[in-house]
Structure 1
C-alpha cells in the first residue's frame, strides 16, 4: 500500500509539514510515514588537512576526524529520533490513519527515489523567503520524482482555495489528472488559470483543463490572464488570497529551463505559501 511521505529535518517547517501531511493523509485515507535522513558528509568542522603536515600528524588528525564524525552522528541520530517521535505524537492528535516513523543513513535524493513507488504524495518543508534561492537538493528531488510534491514554506493553514496553473504541458496535464482522480485536498475552491496573450488559445486550454475535473464531477473555476508568467501568477495568487498553488514543475530539458529562465525556480523563490508540484 502507498502512503503519504513527510520528509523532515528539524529545520525547515517540520511541524507545518507534519500538519499538511496529516491533512492530506486524512483526505486520501492513506497511512502517513515520517522520514528523517542522516546524510553522510566528508566535511569536518575543525579538521584542516591542507598545508604541509607530517605523516604522523596526518594520522592523528584523521583519528580526530573519525572521533568527531562518530560524536556528530550519535547526536544526529538522537536528535532525529526525538524529532520523529515528537512529530508522531503531534500527528496522532488529528491523523485518522496509521503513522510510522523511519530514520536512515544515506543520500537524501537516493533515499527518496528508492521509496518513490510506495509514495502517493511527498511533503517537504523548505526555507523559502522572497528572493531566496531554493537549494539544489530540493530542485533535484522535484526533477527526479514523478509523484505530487507539496513544498511547505509557511505555518499550517487549512487549505480553502487552490490555484492551478495550467499551460497544456505534459507536466501540468499529469498534475490535473493525478489530483482530480485522487483529490489531495477536499472541500476546497479550485481555480484553473492560464497566462497567455493569445486569449483564444488560453480559453481553449482552461476549457481543456476544466473537462479533466468534470470527468470526476469536481467543480472548478477558470481564469485567463496575460503578462509575464511568474509575476502575474504570484500577484494573482496573493490578490485572491489562495492557500496553495499547484503546477507542473520544470521541463524535461535543462536547456529548455535555461532558455525560459526557469519559471518554476522563480515561483519557488518568491511564493510565500505552499506549492504543489508534479513532473
Structure 2
C-alpha cells in the first residue's frame, strides 16, 4: 500500500519535515516511512588512489588514506542511521505507530524513483543540508525531485504549523480540474477551508471554471472560497495568502499560461524560495 514517505538529511529542515509527514500520515491514515540517502558525491563508498602515481612508493601512506576514507564512509552511514532513529522517535512521540526507516546509497532521485510505487505523498524540506544556512537558496536536489517524481510532493519550511486553511492556485486547465477531483477524494484536507484562487482577468469563462471546481469540492464536504486576482502570479498568490492568513499552498507542477511557468525551470526555485509555508505540488 502506498504510504507517506519523508526524505530526511539531518538539515535544519528535517524536524519540520518529520512533523509534516506525521501530520499527513495521520490525516491520510497511511503508514509513514523515513528515507535517508547516502550520496556518493558527498561520501565516496570506496577510495581509489591507484591513479596517484606519486604516492605509489608510499604504500603505508596509501593504506592510511584508504583507511581514512573507509572510516569517513562508515561515519556517514552511522550518521544516517542516527538521523533515521531520531526521526522515528519523533514521529512515534507524535502518535505514529511503528514508522519504517530506510537507508539507501546512491543518487537521491534514482533511489526515490525505485521507491515511487510505494509512495502516495513525498515530504521533503525546502532546503537540504548543503543549503540549510542559506535562507534564500533552494536545494538543487529538490528541484530535480519536483521535476521528475510523479507523486504528490509536500515541500516543507523550517518550522511546523499544523495547517488550518488551504490556498489552491487554480488555472482552469484539464490538469487542475483533475487535481480538484483528486483533492476532493483525499482525506488530507478534510475539514479545512479551501480557497480556490485564479490569477488573471475576471471573465465569465474564468468564473465558470472556478464555480465548477467549487461545486465539486463543496459536494465532497469542503467549505470553499473563490477569488480572481490580477497581477503577477507569484506576488498575487503570496498577497492573497497573507490577507487570508492561509498556511498551506497547493499548486500544479504543470498547468498552462503563467501557472506553467512557476514550476518549470528557474521559476521553480523562485516560488519555493519565497514561500514561508508548506507547498503541495500536484502531478
Task: Give TM-score, length-normalised by structure 1.
Answer: 0.85
The whole-number CA distance in structure 1 between the counterparts of 2:57 and 2:158 is 48
SS of 1:115's equivalent in the other structure is helix
Structure-2 residue corresponding to 1:246: 250
Whether the 8 Å CA contact 1:9–1:37 is kept in 2: the answer is: yes
Structure-1 residue corresponding to 2:21: 21
Structure-2 residue corresponding to 1:116: 116
Structure-2 residue corresponding to 1:138: 142
**RMSD, aligned CA:** 3.0
Q: Evaluate the alpha carbon distance shift between residue 129 and residue 78 of structure 1 in structure 2; reply closer, same or farther with a 3 A threshold.
A: closer
Task: Give TM-score, length-normalised by structure 2.
Answer: 0.84
Whether the 8 Å CA contact 2:19–2:91 is kept in 1: the answer is: yes
Q: Deviation string for 1:196-232 (max 9, x for gaps)?
A: 1243232122123213323423231111111111111
- Pairing 1:179–2:176 present: no
Aligned residues: 270
The whole-number CA distance in structure 2 between the counterparts of 1:167 and 1:263 is 17
Match of 1:203 among 188, 204, 207: 207
The whole-number CA distance in structure 1 between the counterparts of 2:98 and 2:216 is 31
- Pairing 1:272–2:273 present: no
SS of 2:245's equivalent in the other structure is coil
The whole-number CA distance in structure 1 between the counterparts of 2:252 and 2:22 is 23
TM-aligned CA deviation for residue 177 of structure 1: 2.4
Whether the 8 Å CA contact 1:25–1:97 is kept in 2: the answer is: no
Structure-1 residue corresponding to 2:155: 151
Which ranges in structure 2 are unaligned for 5 or more consecutive residues? none
Q: Deviation string for 1:130-162 (max 9, x for gaps)?
A: 982422221111111111111111311111011
Structure-1 residue corresponding to 2:9: 9
Q: Which runs of 4+ in 1 moved over 4 A?
A: 57-65, 128-131, 260-263
Match of 2:239 among 231, 235, 241: 235
Structure-2 residue corresponding to 1:223: 227
Whether the 8 Å CA contact 1:5–1:35 is kept in 2: the answer is: yes
